[in-house]
């Protein structure tokens, strides 16, 4: 497991969240000034300097439930509100989109290009806010500094860590199903055509070399695909052609996006829940949430401007039905942590959570998220 994975996971999922919110704000005909305020507030909170500094510290990935708590807080950083069912759908769309992008990355290193595509699009959402653009550019520089000199092996470990995080998630997304890149069981279809990774040859040739490194034999074979050589490598600079399209906004063309639970995902999630033993890192996960949320500067709305509710479903009835029909094992009950900018209060919260003792319960099957919720109940 790589300790450098969390920033990439958070930024890419955050980018997908903003794509979905932008699409739904337009679909619900939210006035332009309100829509811009929502995106501006969320992005400003997301790229807060203290928050980013905490995020970039080397650390293990945490549970989906813990990350969901962070995104729930982030999505409500402005005047917009989402109810449980819409937040569940939003998180499903975020995770499945980024899982697809990680699976299709030509090289492990290209996950960085996917991240830059998200950052480029995010800057487009706040093009009238130089201060927020500067925040995003600072994060770009942090990414370049941390990941710019990593080896291919280190990027492979990051990609493997991401895929482990996403395993057992097989939620069907209408856009992927219509584009025939996802099967009815929720699993993605890997392409057998298109450009090969930069720096590699089109498959079809086997070369045999002597001990002195001289080519002595050459054989050709039919690979069954339709591959072409990559024309150029994507740019890793602040401004440049990324070449790779993964991570760009797939909702730019307005079309409704639905999610469905497949039987495979229900059974896999149920099995995963049964197989998880109490996790000894639960206390660290609570401390992680306290530190991370303490770095979030949530600006309370000033003035009499009213808030509004965003619905990620076509109708309120669909939203209510989704809330009732969602399998319990796929629900993410949000952990409530009150973390403010006040340093003393943050330190006190960390001290209190540091006093928790984790007692082993070998007879009981619980998930890390259940441990978290149980401990939070003791506050």
Task: Write the DSSP string, 173-214.
Answer: EHHHHHTTSB-TTSPBPPPSEEEPPTT-PPSSEEEEE-TTS-
pLDDT value of position 76: 87
Helix (H, G, I), strand (E, B) or coil at 318: helix
Residue whose C-alpha is closest to residue 357's, from 288, 277, 290, 280: 280
Alpha-carbon span 91 to 86, nearest angstrom: 9
DSSP H or E stretch at residue 317: helix 316-325
pLDDT value of position 290: 57
pLDDT value of position 262: 54
DSSP 252: S
Strand pairing class (215-220; 205-209): antiparallel
CA distances for 363 relative to 121, 249, 274, 357, angstroms: 49, 46, 12, 18
Per-10-residue mean pLDDT, the chain, length 379: 93 95 90 92 93 91 85 88 88 94 95 96 94 96 94 96 93 90 92 89 93 93 88 91 93 63 49 42 56 57 65 70 63 48 51 47 46 48
CA distances for 57 relative to 4, 39, 60, 332, 364, angstroms: 8, 26, 10, 25, 33
Contact 368, 65 (CB under 8 A): yes
């Amino acid at each position: 497991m790589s300790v450098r994975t969390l920033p990439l996971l958070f930024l890419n999922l955050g980018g997908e969240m903003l794509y979905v919110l932008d699409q739904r704000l337009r679909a619900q005909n939210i006035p332009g000034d309100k829509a811009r305020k929502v995106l501006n507030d969320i992005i400003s909170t997301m790229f807060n300097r203290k928050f980013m500094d905490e995020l970039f510290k080397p650390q293990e990935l945490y549970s989906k439930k813990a990350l969901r708590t962070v995104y729930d807080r982030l999505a409500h950083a402005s005047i917009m509100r989402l109810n449980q069912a819409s937040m569940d759908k939003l998180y499903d769309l975020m995770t499945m989109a980024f899982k697809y992008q990680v699976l299709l990355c030509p090289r492990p290193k290209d996950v960085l290009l996917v991240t830059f595509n998200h950052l480029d699009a995010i800057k487009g959402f706040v093009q009238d806010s130089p201060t927020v653009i500067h925040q995003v550019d600072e994060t770009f520089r942090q990414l370049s500094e941390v990941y710019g000199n990593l080896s291919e092996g280190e990027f492979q470990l990051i990609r493997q860590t991401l895929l482990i995080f996403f395993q057992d998630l097989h939620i069907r997304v209408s856009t992927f199903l219509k584009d025939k890149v996802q099967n009815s069981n929720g699993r993605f279809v890997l392409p057998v055509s298109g450009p090969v990774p930069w720096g590699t040859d089109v498959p079809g040739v086997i070369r045999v070399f002597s001990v002195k490194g001289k080519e002595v034999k050459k054989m050709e074979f039919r690979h069954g695909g339709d591959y072409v050589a990559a024309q150029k490598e994507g740019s890793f600079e602040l401004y440049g052609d990324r070449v790779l399209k993964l991570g760009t906004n797939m909702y730019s063309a307005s079309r409704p996006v639905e999610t469905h639970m497949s039987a495979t995902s229900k059974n896999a999630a149920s099995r995963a829940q049964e197989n998880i033993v109490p996790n000894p890192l639960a206390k660290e996960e609570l401390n992680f949430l306290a530190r991370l949320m303490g770095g979030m500067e949530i600006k309370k709305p000033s003035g009499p401007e009213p808030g509004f509710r965003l619905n990620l479903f076509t109708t309120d009835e669909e939203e209510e039905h989704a809330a009732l029909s969602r399998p319990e094992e796929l629900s993410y009950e949000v952990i409530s942590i009150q973390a403010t900018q006040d340093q003393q209060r943050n330190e006190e919260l960390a001290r209190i959570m540091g006093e928790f003792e984790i007692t082993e319960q070998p007879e009981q099957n619980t998930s890390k998220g259940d441990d978290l919720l149980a401990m939070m109940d003791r506050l």
